[in-house]
Amino acid sequence: MPGDRFTHLDDQGRAQMVDVTDKAQTQREATARARIRMQPQTLAMIRDKRHPKGDVIATARIAGIQAAKKTWDLIPMCHPLLLSKVTVAIEEAGQDGLEILTTCKLKGVTGVEMEALTAASVAALTLYDMCKAVDRGMVIEEICLLEKSGGRSGHYQREDCELDDER
Amino acid sequence: MPGDRFTHLDDQGRAQMVDVTDKAQTQREATARARIRMQPQTLAMIRDKRHPKGDVIATARIAGIQAAKKTWDLIPMCHPLLLSKVTVAIEEAGQDGLEILTTCKLKGVTGVEMEALTAASVAALTLYDMCKAVDRGMVIEEICLLEKSGGRSGHYQREDCELDDER
Amino acid sequence: MPGDRFTHLDDQGRAQMVDVTDKAQTQREATARARIRMQPQTLAMIRDKRHPKGDVIATARIAGIQAAKKTWDLIPMCHPLLLSKVTVAIEEAGQDGLEILTTCKLKGVTGVEMEALTAASVAALTLYDMCKAVDRGMVIEEICLLEKSGGRSGHYQREDCELDDER
Amino acid sequence: MPGDRFTHLDDQGRAQMVDVTDKAQTQREATARARIRMQPQTLAMIRDKRHPKGDVIATARIAGIQAAKKTWDLIPMCHPLLLSKVTVAIEEAGQDGLEILTTCKLKGVTGVEMEALTAASVAALTLYDMCKAVDRGMVIEEICLLEKSGGRSGHYQREDCELDDER
Amino acid sequence: MPGDRFTHLDDQGRAQMVDVTDKAQTQREATARARIRMQPQTLAMIRDKRHPKGDVIATARIAGIQAAKKTWDLIPMCHPLLLSKVTVAIEEAGQDGLEILTTCKLKGVTGVEMEALTAASVAALTLYDMCKAVDRGMVIEEICLLEKSGGRSGHYQREDCELDDER
Amino acid sequence: MPGDRFTHLDDQGRAQMVDVTDKAQTQREATARARIRMQPQTLAMIRDKRHPKGDVIATARIAGIQAAKKTWDLIPMCHPLLLSKVTVAIEEAGQDGLEILTTCKLKGVTGVEMEALTAASVAALTLYDMCKAVDRGMVIEEICLLEKSGGRSGHYQREDCELDDER
């Protein structure tokens, strides 16, 4: 792998939007994950039905879906593409955290891992925004790609965002 | 703090863009941080002058600056605002990581921590995008607010994204 | 129909961008309509050649076309898509109104009624904006889908925005 | 009023973004309304707790808030501005409809009625989108300005979107 | 001037959005110009009343106005700002060209020359787009700043886009 | 050619987004060019390694790539499309200028010359923005289409932005 070239850089070392014109159109899917840690009381407020958990979670989920569609505008070398599915799920992760799982899918020539990662990141940022008045010390952590299928590089899967053991 | 109310939620528990019309216009500043861990070889390729480090870093920095200006469009309850300064700095963090430090500033009625956090997140996503062809297992981690000044809530500072000890 | 499920909601009742990956790529077309009622003098000013009708109408038409292309960004669960045609026509409707007719078309996997409806709505809002200095009481009304073809659900046509008789 | 000139049109009859540089900076507020009529069963599905009403309504509300912030991008002659508050409320209106009430506010030199109207329109379009699979015949109707305060033109109020009696 | 520093570059030579927090809020205005040369027949078609000149010109003018408002999104180091006036005028320039004159204005801390230049450029691109089916060889030329007032650097004026003689 | 019709104008002389639904999906490519003239000292500062040339050029190149993807949003009658490649190259042009060469590519139903021209224009505007503090008199000039292939109209090539001799 050390011998590999970065595909976004042409011969003169310039970042460019690489040519994917001739790549095969296949069904592609990617799943990403983010976590946000917070004070247990903050999580309790979200979980607590008297406190309107629904909207905190719903707002973050919608923000993540919307962000997935804007990935080409946020990440300079990303290609525009036609996402055919975006889902964002948010679950509790222990006493002090929420876990965001996103899946993006399309029939196209480019992978969708950036879209899944962007959705997860923006959903996490939105959770932060919705709760920052009561907990400024929240930390977004462990944004990573969990699974990817459908491209030339084959199927990829990892268990967790911890760096792979074989490294 | 458990008794606090989420300021984005009105009496019926609906998320809304809260009224800041009468807040004081003051100078506000926020600094955020993100880290991305990668294989040492990936970092070496970025650092290595033969491999065009400049553009990987420059692309991420520009993406972060652009994203700060779009925070109001990405985070549903964020107010539009007029950032008067955005900086994004990217440095090596050990043998296997990069650290992104962002600062946003304005004279206005709302804090700019979401802008700083969004800049850091999108810069990190862009680094991932630029390098994912050689290292799909990178992890974005520890996105947090480091410092904030200028609002009603006073000055805030933390040393690291690790959860505060007092928790 | 009461037994139907909303397709934007998954098993846990969460709004998601539904999976259209495997839907058939067909030619799809939709026509929508909006009306805006105004004072007869306001309409006369638009119609009157001395008053620059052309630009009021042209501005609204262009705004409608541009909005159709942004539907995926405005309506959270809409899929991005490649419109192959957008037309916006604006005609007089009686002594005190204008009628906007929009048509959108594409070869793709999702219907384009939201694009046609969004174009009609934004064209109407633009007419309001252009004339509000002289007539603040204008009302936008009867935005509805007139016709739709090309999808799994077959051809749909209605005569008017009045609620269907069979209801 | 027939003698008035459209403020968006200069001497040559060209639409322009009018000069508001010297207008007074005051607190401005506007409230708008939209209604969407649907089949009673569709409304029942939204209302019914087994059917996830929360997200249909929440999605529409968030879409409306986001759209208010994009009004300058949708309506060609609208000025960019810094909304300090946006609220979107959605209530049942009889057996077969929902009513959307939006309020926008800012301290600035331009009125915010277009922002309130745009929020109401896009929230209504989103309701249509969320329910169109079960009820294609919904009609958005009676989008109008209910109240406006803070500008040179004084306070404006209407009871309903029905055209004013004095017309 | 050779000794000057580029203000967008910090000590490490990184592009950043420079700090304008403490700059004086003054009234600022800028006028820019672009020209597009075309075949005389193409110009005749635009001028000719049978051919709908109105919309070609109107479309370009609206596109220019809209683009001025998006300058902060197009030019990475531009600050977001609140334009209080944008005008775009398009006139014939000889037998084979059109001239676009744009003016932008605001009360703020940053100049608006980029906004005026962006409006002129996008209006010219739109003219190209509207006419390219009949004249693919059109050339956009001489986009320059004609006048600028209101900033720290004082009043600036040039007669033409030709490079200044004193150079 | 004088007998040709502008394809963006329908029978009533209204600008519309023309119907391309039935056009052939082919591989299309376009190359455009822009030049910006500046004082020799300004060029020297960019070229000089002590002055951070890298970022000026990199920022302009990234801005051009991003703008290509937004062409449909900037030029009202442009169709949305899925660019499969965008490159922006910036080279010195004599003692007092820079030349920008852009190439866009896709497999689709519409040409990409507007995307290439938009990329060149916005890259030039960004160069202006990055250097305007030291050289306000820069002129962007000679934005033109150099080559186009893949559409119904066949291959097109010109040597320079000078108007064709046969005119």
Q: Are strands F85-92 and E26-37 parallel, antiparallel or unpaired?
A: unpaired
**C112-139 pLDDT, tens digit each:** 999 999 999 999 999 999 999 889 899 9
Catalytic site includes residue E129: yes
What would the DSSP string read from start to end of chain E? -TT---TTB-TTS-B-B---TTS--EEEEEEEEEEEE--HHHHHHHH-TTTTHHHHHHHHHHHHHHHHHTHHHHSTTPPP---SEEEEEEEE-TTSEEEEEEEEEEEESS--HHHHHHHHHHHHHHHHHHHTTT-TT-EEEEEEEEEEESSTT--EE-S-SSPPTT-
DSSP E strand stretches across chain B: 26-37, 85-92, 97-108, 139-149, 156-157
Predicted confidence (pLDDT) at residue A25 exceeds the cutoff of 50: yes
Look at residue D69 in the predicted model and tell me its pLDDT. Answer: 98
Active-site amino acid positions of C? 129
Look at residue F2 in the predicted model and tell me its pLDDT. Answer: 37
Residue F76 is encoded by which pair of tokens? 């009202």
Q: F155 a known binding residue?
A: no
Q: In this predicted model, which residue has the larger pLDDT, C122 or D159?
A: C122
* Phi-psi map region of A99: left, alpha, beta (phi>0 left; psi -120 to 50 alpha): beta
Residues above pLDDT 70, as percent of chain C = 85
Predicted confidence (pLDDT) at residue A53 exceeds the cutoff of 80: no
Once rounded to an integer, what is the mean pLDDT over residues F56-83? 96
Predicted confidence (pLDDT) at residue D38 exceeds the cutoff of 70: yes
Global pTM reads 0.93
Look at residue E13 in the predicted model and tell me its pLDDT. Answer: 60
Q: What is the pLDDT along chain B (167 residues), one digit of tens a residue?
A: 334 445 565 555 678 898 999 998 999 999 999 999 999 999 988 887 544 435 889 899 999 999 999 999 999 999 999 999 999 999 999 999 999 999 999 999 999 999 999 999 999 999 999 999 889 899 999 999 999 999 877 899 987 776 544 43
**Chain D residues closer than 8 Å to A62 by CB:** 58-59, 62-63
Once rounded to an integer, what is the mean pLDDT over residues F124-137? 93
**Chain A residues closer than 8 Å to B76 by CB:** 59, 62-63, 126
Predicted confidence (pLDDT) at residue E98 exceeds the cutoff of 70: yes
Q: Looking at this protein, which amino acid is placed at residue A123? A: A
Look at residue F10 in the predicted model and tell me its pLDDT. Answer: 52
Asked if C87 is an interface residue toward chain E (Cβ–Cβ < 8 A), one would say no
CB-nearest partner of D72 from E58, E69, E87: E69
- What was the ipTM of the complex prediction? 0.93
Look at residue A10 in the predicted model and tell me its pLDDT. Answer: 52
**F147-162 pLDDT, tens digit each:** 999 987 789 998 777 6
Interface of A with F in 102-121 (CB under 8 A): 108-109
Asked if A41 is an interface residue toward chain B (Cβ–Cβ < 8 A), one would say yes
CB-nearest partner of A63 from B44, B54, B74: B74
Asked if C88 is an interface residue toward chain F (Cβ–Cβ < 8 A), one would say yes
Distance from CA of E123 to the nearest CA of C (A): 14
pLDDT band at E48 (very low <50, low <70, confident <90, very high): confident
Cβ proximity of F57 and F46 under 8 Å: yes
CA atoms of F59 and E74, how far apart (whole Å): 11
Once rounded to an integer, what is the mean pLDDT over residues A58-70? 96
Look at residue B7 in the predicted model and tell me its pLDDT. Answer: 57
Q: F159 a known binding residue?
A: no
**E138-150 pLDDT, tens digit each:** 999 999 999 999 9
